[in-house]
């Protein structure tokens, strides 16, 4: 098995993708709007991915946060609010905000499980600053670390009860970036003491099953390499100081924050200590290069994968999506 998550080009596997994936045997797959049309189509797609891999628990990922980051949406699926709505409620009613976040995650999780998706790249544990890039600020759960952690915990639990694994992101924190990593490489000049604020939510949730890195240079830790490519940050900060021993994947290596070819970036991230590479755009030439440059998934990474997927093994999702949405909306109306 190759330590990579690949994207697909459309709503069903092409013949070329089927042949390539059967040969490369990637760890899993990630879906975007281009892959999503209807419930029946999406169930057929996820079924085909399981059949192709031969693994009933093959990770099938999606970014379904709410707000503008939602690959499944109206009219086929209900919309859900982004993080700031829950942060606003927390200001006046913390317990209600946590319950709203959990109900929302249950609704989202049930929606995903219904179509065969078992991993959601959510929640964000990034702590906002006054100048946080809108790419994060419009999605995050606030500027107070323990508030972010409390709602993040509720989201992970809600997803788990629905049979979906949550991915905490973007380790070791994206809140101090003032530019969007899709287009630029941010450099954070905060001191090591100041960065403790960014680490707090991740430390509080360091038993999360999966995590995702950020493509950000933190001068206090490694002046030369972004977190995704830095063995110092992955080993000393994420693994040791945060204490995270879950499955660690990169953010999308196609983002312009990273330089080099797709294969070079993938190999660099794995060498730095990431367990998995996330390559989202289904460009066959790039996927072939990645597969040619990375080896098989190491035993330690495979163990982390197995442990992560075991957290939802045998889960029978229960509950009514509409009821959870109604509960969420009645609580959010308090704000």
In terms of DSSP bridges, do strands 187-188 and 119-120 run parallel, antiparallel, or are they unpaired? Answer: unpaired
Euclidean distance between CA atoms 38 and 168, whole angstroms:
27
Contact 78, 321 (CB under 8 A): yes
Catalytic positions, written as ranges? 182, 251
Q: Could you tell me the two tokens for 153?
A: 């915990």
Euclidean distance between CA atoms 241 and 286, whole angstroms:
34
* SS3 assignment for the chain: CEEEEEECCCCCCCHHHHHHHHHHCEEEEEECHHHCCCHHHHHHHHHHHHHHHCCCCCCEEECEEECCEECCCCCCCCCCCCHHHHHHHHHHCHHHHHHHHHHHHHHHHHHHHHCCCCEECCCECCCCCCCCCHHHHCCCCCCCHHHHHHHHHHHHHHHHHCCCEEEEEEECCCCCCCCCCCCCCCEECCCHHHHHHHHHHHHHCCCCCEEEECCCEECCCCCCCEHHHCHHHHHHHHHHHCCCCCEEEEEECCCCCCCCCHHHHHHHHHHHCCCEEEECCCCHHHHHHHHHHCCCCCHHHHHHHHHHHHCCCCCCCCCCHHHHHHHHHHHHCCC
């Amino acid at each position: 098995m190759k330590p990579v998550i690949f994207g697909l080009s459309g709503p069903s596997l092409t013949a070329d993708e089927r042949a390539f994936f059967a040969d490369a045997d990637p760890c899993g797959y990630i879906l975007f709007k281009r892959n999503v049309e209807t419930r029946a189509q999406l169930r057929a797609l996820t079924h085909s991915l399981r059949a192709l891999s031969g693994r009933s628990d093959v990770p099938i990922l999606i970014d379904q946060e709410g707000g503008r980051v939602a690959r499944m949406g109206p009219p086929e699926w209900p919309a859900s609010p982004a993080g700031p709505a829950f942060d606003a409620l927390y200001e006046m009613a913390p317990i209600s905000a946590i319950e709203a976040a959990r109900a929302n995650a249950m609704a989202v999780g049930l929606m995903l499980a219904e179509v065969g998706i078992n991993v959601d790249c959510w929640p964000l544990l990034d702590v906002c600053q006054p100048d946080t890039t809108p790419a994060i600020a419009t999605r995050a759960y606030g500027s107070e670390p323990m508030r972010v952690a409390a709602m993040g915990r509720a989201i992970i639990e809600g997803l788990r009860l629905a049979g979906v694994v949550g991915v905490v992101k973007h380790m070791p924190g994206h809140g101090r970036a003032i530019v969007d990593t899709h287009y630029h490489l941010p450099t954070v000049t905060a001191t090591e003491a100041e960065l403790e604020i960014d680490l707090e939510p991740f430390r509080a949730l360091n038993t999360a099953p999966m995590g995702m890195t950020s493509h950000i240079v933190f001068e206090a830790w490694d002046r030369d390499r972004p977190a995704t490519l830095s063995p110092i940050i992955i080993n000393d900060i994420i693994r040791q100081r945060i204490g995270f021993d879950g499955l660690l994947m990169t953010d999308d290596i196609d983002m312009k924050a990273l330089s080099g070819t797709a294969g070079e970036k993938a190999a660099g991230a794995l060498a730095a200590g990431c367990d998995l590479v996330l390559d989202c755009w289904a460009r066959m030439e790039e996927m072939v290069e990645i597969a040619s440059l990375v080896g098989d998934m190491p035993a330690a990474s495979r163990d982390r994968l197995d442990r992560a997927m075991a957290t939802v093994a045998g889960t029978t999702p229960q509950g009514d999506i509409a009821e959870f949405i109604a509960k969420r909306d009645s609580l959010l109306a308090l704000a």
